[in-house]
Amino acid sequence: MLLLLGVWKTLPAELEREIARLDLALRGPDILGMVLDQLLTSAGIGTPPPEIREAILRAAGGLTTIEAENAFALSIVETGSVQPKLVTREKARALKSGGLLEVIETTESLDSIGGLEALKTWLIQRGEAITQRARD
Protein backbone atom coordinates (compact mmCIF):
# COMPACT_ATOMS: atom_id res chain seq x y z
CA MET A 1 0.00 0.00 0.00
CA LEU A 2 1.32 3.41 -0.99
CA LEU A 3 -0.14 6.64 0.34
CA LEU A 4 0.38 9.83 -1.67
CA LEU A 5 -0.24 13.14 0.06
CA GLY A 6 -0.40 16.58 -1.48
CA VAL A 7 -1.95 18.47 -4.30
CA TRP A 8 -3.69 16.24 -6.83
CA LYS A 9 -1.80 15.94 -10.08
CA THR A 10 -2.83 14.24 -13.29
CA LEU A 11 -1.71 10.65 -13.31
CA PRO A 12 -0.98 8.39 -16.25
CA ALA A 13 -4.13 6.65 -17.53
CA GLU A 14 -2.83 3.24 -16.50
CA LEU A 15 -2.65 4.34 -12.85
CA GLU A 16 -6.01 6.15 -12.67
CA ARG A 17 -7.97 2.94 -11.97
CA GLU A 18 -5.47 1.70 -9.42
CA ILE A 19 -5.62 4.72 -7.13
CA ALA A 20 -8.37 5.69 -4.73
CA ARG A 21 -8.67 9.44 -4.33
CA LEU A 22 -9.68 10.89 -0.99
CA ASP A 23 -10.39 14.62 -0.88
CA LEU A 24 -10.02 16.08 2.59
CA ALA A 25 -11.83 19.22 3.65
CA LEU A 26 -9.83 22.36 4.35
CA ARG A 27 -9.50 23.39 7.96
CA GLY A 28 -12.00 25.84 9.34
CA PRO A 29 -11.36 29.05 11.26
CA ASP A 30 -11.12 27.17 14.56
CA ILE A 31 -8.07 25.16 13.45
CA LEU A 32 -6.55 28.16 11.62
CA GLY A 33 -7.07 30.14 14.83
CA MET A 34 -5.08 27.56 16.78
CA VAL A 35 -2.28 27.76 14.19
CA LEU A 36 -2.32 31.57 14.45
CA ASP A 37 -2.28 31.49 18.27
CA GLN A 38 0.62 29.02 18.38
CA LEU A 39 2.63 31.11 15.94
CA LEU A 40 1.95 34.35 17.84
CA THR A 41 2.95 32.67 21.10
CA SER A 42 6.17 31.28 19.66
CA ALA A 43 7.01 34.70 18.18
CA GLY A 44 6.26 36.44 21.48
CA ILE A 45 3.55 38.61 19.94
CA GLY A 46 0.32 39.39 21.75
CA THR A 47 -3.08 38.40 20.44
CA PRO A 48 -4.57 40.98 18.07
CA PRO A 49 -7.95 42.61 18.80
CA PRO A 50 -10.94 40.34 18.00
CA GLU A 51 -11.93 42.21 14.83
CA ILE A 52 -8.36 42.05 13.44
CA ARG A 53 -8.06 38.37 14.40
CA GLU A 54 -11.31 37.64 12.61
CA ALA A 55 -10.09 39.52 9.52
CA ILE A 56 -6.86 37.49 9.57
CA LEU A 57 -8.75 34.19 9.78
CA ARG A 58 -11.17 35.28 7.05
CA ALA A 59 -8.18 36.15 4.85
CA ALA A 60 -6.67 32.71 5.54
CA GLY A 61 -9.88 30.87 4.68
CA GLY A 62 -9.33 28.30 1.95
CA LEU A 63 -5.64 27.84 2.73
CA THR A 64 -4.21 24.63 4.11
CA THR A 65 -2.80 24.82 7.61
CA ILE A 66 0.74 24.84 6.22
CA GLU A 67 -0.07 27.61 3.72
CA ALA A 68 -1.77 29.65 6.45
CA GLU A 69 1.14 29.17 8.84
CA ASN A 70 3.57 30.27 6.14
CA ALA A 71 1.45 33.35 5.37
CA PHE A 72 1.24 34.26 9.06
CA ALA A 73 4.99 33.77 9.53
CA LEU A 74 5.84 35.83 6.47
CA SER A 75 3.63 38.64 7.73
CA ILE A 76 5.42 38.56 11.09
CA VAL A 77 8.82 38.69 9.39
CA GLU A 78 7.82 41.59 7.13
CA THR A 79 5.81 43.72 9.59
CA GLY A 80 6.34 42.36 13.09
CA SER A 81 2.68 41.32 13.31
CA VAL A 82 0.11 39.36 11.33
CA GLN A 83 -1.64 41.65 8.85
CA PRO A 84 -4.80 40.52 7.02
CA LYS A 85 -3.64 42.31 3.87
CA LEU A 86 -0.40 40.30 3.72
CA VAL A 87 -2.25 37.03 4.38
CA THR A 88 -4.57 37.92 1.48
CA ARG A 89 -1.54 38.62 -0.72
CA GLU A 90 -0.05 35.22 0.08
CA LYS A 91 -3.39 33.55 -0.56
CA ALA A 92 -3.50 35.22 -3.99
CA ARG A 93 0.04 34.00 -4.65
CA ALA A 94 -0.98 30.43 -3.74
CA LEU A 95 -3.97 30.65 -6.09
CA LYS A 96 -1.81 31.95 -8.93
CA SER A 97 0.72 29.17 -8.47
CA GLY A 98 -2.06 26.60 -8.87
CA GLY A 99 -2.62 27.89 -12.39
CA LEU A 100 -6.40 27.59 -12.29
CA LEU A 101 -7.31 31.07 -11.08
CA GLU A 102 -6.05 34.54 -11.68
CA VAL A 103 -6.34 37.16 -8.95
CA ILE A 104 -6.73 40.73 -10.11
CA GLU A 105 -6.19 43.42 -7.51
CA THR A 106 -8.18 46.61 -7.83
CA THR A 107 -8.09 49.95 -6.10
CA GLU A 108 -11.77 50.57 -6.67
CA SER A 109 -14.12 51.15 -3.76
CA LEU A 110 -17.80 51.80 -3.32
CA ASP A 111 -17.05 55.52 -3.51
CA SER A 112 -15.80 55.17 -7.08
CA ILE A 113 -19.12 53.69 -8.23
CA GLY A 114 -21.60 56.27 -9.40
CA GLY A 115 -25.19 56.12 -8.16
CA LEU A 116 -26.68 53.08 -6.44
CA GLU A 117 -26.64 54.87 -3.08
CA ALA A 118 -29.34 52.64 -1.59
CA LEU A 119 -27.41 49.50 -2.57
CA LYS A 120 -24.13 50.87 -1.20
CA THR A 121 -25.80 51.77 2.10
CA TRP A 122 -27.34 48.30 2.33
CA LEU A 123 -23.98 46.61 1.60
CA ILE A 124 -22.24 48.63 4.31
CA GLN A 125 -24.97 47.80 6.83
CA ARG A 126 -24.95 44.09 5.96
CA GLY A 127 -21.16 43.87 6.03
CA GLU A 128 -21.38 43.63 9.82
CA ALA A 129 -23.67 40.59 9.55
CA ILE A 130 -20.77 38.23 8.78
CA THR A 131 -18.67 39.14 11.80
CA GLN A 132 -18.23 36.99 14.89
CA ARG A 133 -19.97 39.66 16.95
CA ALA A 134 -23.10 39.26 14.81
CA ARG A 135 -22.97 35.46 15.14
CA ASP A 136 -22.68 35.74 18.92
Q: What is the pLDDT of residues 3-62, one digit of tens each?
A: 666 666 677 778 777 777 777 667 778 888 898 989 898 888 888 888 889 889 988 988
Cα atoms in the 13 Å half-sphere on the side-chain side of 85:
4
Domain ranges of the chain: 27-106
Q: Name, of 77-81, 92-96, 112-116, 132-136, the range with top average pLDDT.
A: 77-81
CA 12 to chain centre: 32
CA angle (116, 122, 123) in 5-degree steps: 90
CA distance 93 to 69: 14
CA distance 133 to 136: 5
Topology at the third CATH level for domain 27-106: Helicase, Ruva Protein; domain 3 (1.10.8)
Q: What is the pTM of this model?
A: 0.64
CA distance 112 to 87: 25
